[in-house]
Amino acid sequence: MTSLQVGMLLFGAMIALMALRVPIAIAMFLPGALGYAFLANESALLNQLKGSVYGRLSLYDLSVIPLFLLMGQFATQGGLSRDLFRFGNAMLGHFKGGMAMAAVLACAAFGSVCGSSVATTATIGQAALPEMKRFGYSGRLSTATLAAGGTLGILIPPSVPLVIYAILTEQNIAKIFAAAFVPGIIAAIGYCIAIALYVRFVPGQAPDVEKAAWAERKAAIIGVWPIGVIFCVVFGGIYGGFFSPTEGAAVGAAATFFAAILRRELNAEGVRRCFLGTAETTGMIFLIFVGADMMNGALALSQMPGKLSEIITGLGWPPLAIIAAILGFYVLLGCVMDELSMILLTIPVIFPTVMALAPQMGMSPTDMAIWFGILVLMVVEIGLIAPPVGLNVYVINSLAKDVPMSETYKGVMPFLASDFIRTTLILFFPATCLWLVSVLFK
Amino acid sequence: MGSRAGSSGRPLLRQKTALNALNSPSRSPLIPIPNPQSPILKNQLASLLHTSARWLAYIGGALLVTVMLMSVASIVPRALGFQPIQGDFELAAIGSGVCIACFLPWSHLRGGNIIVDFFTTALTKKSNQKLDAIGSWLLAICLAVIAWRTGVGTLSVRAGNEESMIMRLPIWWGYAGMLPGLALTAIAAAWTGWQSWLGNDVEHHTRKDA
C-alpha cells in the first residue's frame, strides 16, 4: 500500500468509528494503534505506549491548560459576569441595540480571563439573557449575540485552542496570544457593527433606550477593575518577560481566586464545583490529546503528511488559494466534527503543507505558522456558531429554552457575515495579526 | 452532598446525578451471590465509582492548586531579585500530569468524552444505547491497555533510576501517580458501557468546548 492509501484508510476508519458514536478520542486512538502496529510492529506499539501517555500529560507547556481552565472556573463561580455586563451596559447602553453590544463587550472582557468559548457563552448568558428579555430585546437577537459573543472567549487570550495549536506546531504560546489580540478587538467591534446594522434594518429586535449617566458609569467601573488588573498582570508579566505562560496562568488563577474570595462569592462548595468543572473539561481535552497522538504517530509512520504536502504544492496553485481551500475544508469538517479534535487531528497532517508555502508567500516560517494559527482559530469560531451544529448555539439554547434554535440560527447570520469579512481581512492582510507580535518581540 | 461508605452495610445512596434513577433502596443487604441485576450491586457500584471518581478529581484539583501556588511562589522571589527555586517547572510538569490523570474518571462519568451523534439520530434510542455501550467498552479496553503499559513503564523507569534534570526527582513517581486515574477510567467506562447496554441513562455530551 502507498503511504497515502494507508493514511486514507486510517482516516476512513476514524470517521466510521465516530459516526458509530464511539468517543472521539477512542475513534482516533484505536485505528492509530492498529495502524502503528501494522506499520511498525506490536512490540513497537507496546513500547511506545509505556511512556507516551505520561509524556503527553506531564508536559510543562500543556499544564497551562488546566490552569487557565481553573482560572475561568474561578471567574465563573466568582460572579464577575454580572458586573461585566453592567459595565458594558453603562458604556454602550445609549446606542440602539446597546445592551446587545454590552453583552459583546462583557464577553470580550470575560474572554480575557477565560480561555473557553462555551464557558464565556454560558457565564455571560446567565447574566445578560434575563436583562435583555426584560428590556424587550427579541429572543433571536439576544441568543445570537451571546452565541457569537462567546467565541470571543477563545479569540481574546488566554485561549485553549491556541495553546493546543502552539504546542502541536512548536510555536511560542506568548507570540500566538499576541497575534490573536488585534483580531479579537476587530471581532468585538465587528460584532457591535453587525448589531447596529441589524437593529437598524430589521425592526422590532431592540428597544429604544436612554443615555446612561456618568455616575452610573463610574459605579460600573468599580465593579470590573479586578478583571482589568488581572488581565494586565497576567499578560504584562508574560510579555514583559517576567514569567512563562504557565506561570502567568498560575498567577491569573490565584488572583481570580482571591478576587472571588474578596467579593464573598466563593465558598468551599464553590471551590469544589470549580475543581469538578475543571476536571470535566481537562479530562476531555487530554483524552482527545492521547487519541490524536496515537493517530498522528501512525500517520507519521505512514509518511502521509509529507506525501500530501508534495501533492498539494505540486498542484501549482497560488499559495493564498491553497490556504483558502484548506480553510474551506475546515469549515466543512467542522460541520460534523468537534472543533478541538479537528485541530488536534489535522494540524499535524496539514502543517507541513502550509509551511512549504511560506517561501512563496514571502513570510518567515514563524510568521507563517502564527498567521495560519489565527486563521484556523477564525474557522473554529465559525464552526462554533454555524448551522447545522453550532456548539455555542446549543449552549445558549439550553439557557433560553423559550427561543427556538432556528430563531437563534437566523439571528447568527449577521455575526457569521462579520466572521467571514474578518477572516478574509486576515487572509489578505497578515499584518493584522503579525503587527503586534513584531512590536512585542523585537 | 456526596455519599459515604457506611459501616452498616446499607447501600450507598444519594447521588446528585442521573443515577438518581437507579437509587431504589433495597433493605436486604445479605445476598449470598451478587446478582448483576441486583439494584444493590448497581447502587453500590454506581455510588462507589462516582464517589471515588469525585474524590480523585478533588485530589487532582488540590494538586493543581499546589502547582498554581508553587508557580506563584517561584515568581515572587524572582521578581524581588532573589534566587528563584531551581527546576520548579519539573515539579509543575509532574504534578499537572498526575492531576490530569486524576481528572479523567470524573470527566468520563460526567459524559466528558465527546461523541458525534450527527449520523445516528435516525436510529432508535435502544440502538443508540447499544452503540454507546460498544463505544464505552472500546474506551475501557484502550484505557486498560494504557494503564497496563504505563504500569510497565513505571517499573522500567524505576528500575532505570531515571531522574529529572535539575531537581533530580524520581520520574517513576509521576508514572505511578497516573495509574489510579487511568485504571479507574477503564473501570468507569466498563460500567457506563454496561449501563448503556442495559438501557439505563448515562450522561453524554455530544460536542464539547473548543
Q: What is the 3-state secondary structure (H, E, C) of B180-196?
A: HHHHHHHHHHHHHHHHH
Measured between beta carbons, the chain B residues lying within 8 angstroms of A284 are: 107, 112-114, 205, 208-209
How far apart (Å, rounded) are the C-alpha atoms in residues A32 and A13? 9
Cell of residue A338, nine digits: 468537534
Q: Which of A424, A423, A420, A387 is nearest to A144 (CA)?
A: A387
What pLDDT, on the 0 to 100 scale, is given for residue B208?
A: 37
A388 upstream amide cis, omega within 30 of 0: yes
What pLDDT, on the 0 to 100 scale, is given for residue B203?
A: 65
- The pLDDT tens digits of the residues spanning A121-156 come to 888 888 888 888 888 899 999 999 999 999 999 999
Across the interface, do B112 and A20 touch by the CB < 8 Å criterion?
no
Q: Which chain B residue is nearest to residue A26, measuring alpha carbons?
A: B139
Asked if A107 and A415 count as a contact pair (C-beta separation under 8 A), the reply is no
- What length does chain A have? 442
* DSSP character string of B34-63: --TT-HHHHHHHHHHHHHHHHHHHHHHHHH
The band of B39, judged by pLDDT with boundaries at 50, 70 and 90, is low
By Cβ distance, the residue of B60, B68, B93 closest to A58 is B93
How far apart (Å, rounded) are the C-alpha atoms in residues B82 and B70? 16
- Among A62, A151, A282, A384, the strongest candidate for a mutation testing the B interface, having the largest count of B CBs within 10 A, is A282
Residues B49-56 have a mean pLDDT of 93
A387 touching B (Cβ < 8 Å): no
Is it the case that residue B125 has pLDDT exceeding 70?
yes
Residues A147-166 have a mean pLDDT of 92
pTM for the model stands at: 0.85
Distance from CA of B110 to the nearest CA of A (A): 7
Measured between beta carbons, the chain B residues lying within 8 angstroms of A54 are: 97, 150, 153, 174-175, 178
CA-based diameter of chain B, in Å? 68
What pLDDT, on the 0 to 100 scale, is given for residue B18?
A: 27
Across the interface, do B64 and A67 touch by the CB < 8 Å criterion?
yes
Is it the case that residue B166 has pLDDT exceeding 90?
no
ipTM over 0.90: no
Residues B132-152 have a mean pLDDT of 96
Across the interface, do B120 and A341 touch by the CB < 8 Å criterion?
no
Across the interface, do B92 and A24 touch by the CB < 8 Å criterion?
no
Is it the case that residue B37 has pLDDT exceeding 90?
no
How far apart (Å, rounded) are the C-alpha atoms in residues A256 and A247? 14
How far apart (Å, rounded) are the C-alpha atoms in residues A306 and A242? 38
Torsion of CA B192, B198, B200, B202, to 10 degrees: 20
Residues A176-181 have a mean pLDDT of 93
How far apart (Å, rounded) are the C-alpha atoms in residues A124 and A106? 7
How far apart (Å, rounded) are the C-alpha atoms in residues A286 and A280? 10
Q: What is the 3-state secondary structure (H, E, C) of A189-235?
A: HHHHHHHHHHHHHCCCCCCCCCCCCHHHHHHHHHHHHHHHHHHHHHH
The band of B40, judged by pLDDT with boundaries at 50, 70 and 90, is low
Residues A29-49 have a mean pLDDT of 92
Phi, psi of B85 (to 5 degrees): -65, 130
Is it the case that residue A291 has pLDDT exceeding 70?
yes
Asked if B107 and B99 count as a contact pair (C-beta separation under 8 A), the reply is no
Q: Which chain A residue is nearest to residue B175, measuring alpha carbons?
A: A54
Mutual angle of helices B39-79 and A245-262, in 10-degree steps: 110
Residue A317: HSE in the Cβ half-sphere, 13 Å Cα cutoff: 18
Measured between beta carbons, the chain A residues lying within 8 angstroms of B115 are: 18, 21-24
The mean-pLDDT minimum among A41-45, A89-93, A101-105 falls in A89-93
* Residue B83 DSSP label: P
The mean-pLDDT minimum among A350-354, A407-411, B23-27, B54-58 falls in B23-27
Residues B116-143 have a mean pLDDT of 89
Asked if A66 and A282 count as a contact pair (C-beta separation under 8 A), the reply is yes
CA-based diameter of chain A, in Å? 73
A244 touching B (Cβ < 8 Å): yes
What pLDDT, on the 0 to 100 scale, is given for residue A127?
A: 84
By Cβ distance, the residue of A50, A337, A394 closest to B156 is A50
Across the interface, do B112 and A67 touch by the CB < 8 Å criterion?
no
Is it the case that residue B42 has pLDDT exceeding 80?
no
Burial of A61 (0-12, 13-18, 19+ CB in 10 A): middle
Residues A326-344 have a mean pLDDT of 83
Asked if A282 and A64 count as a contact pair (C-beta separation under 8 A), the reply is no
Is it the case that residue B210 has pLDDT exceeding 60?
no
The band of B30, judged by pLDDT with boundaries at 50, 70 and 90, is very low
Residues B198-209 have a mean pLDDT of 61
Is it the case that residue B34 has pLDDT exceeding 80?
no
Is it the case that residue A104 has pLDDT exceeding 80?
yes
Across the interface, do A70 and B145 touch by the CB < 8 Å criterion?
no
- The pLDDT tens digits of the residues spanning A215-252 come to 778 878 887 888 888 889 888 888 888 888 888 999 99
Residues B116-127 have a mean pLDDT of 83
Cβ under 8 Å to B: A residues 394-413: 394
**B163 three-class SS:** strand
How far apart (Å, rounded) are the C-alpha atoms in residues B107 and B90? 25
Distance from CA of B71 to the nearest CA of A (A): 5
Say how far residue A313 (Cα) sits from the centre of its chain: 29
Inter-chain CB pairs, A–B, below 8 Å: 238
Across the interface, do A53 and B131 touch by the CB < 8 Å criterion?
no
Cell of residue A156, nine digits: 481574546
By Cβ distance, the residue of A117, A269, A278 closest to B210 is A117
Distance from CA of A320 to the nearest CA of B (A): 26
How far apart (Å, rounded) are the C-alpha atoms in residues A270 and A277? 10
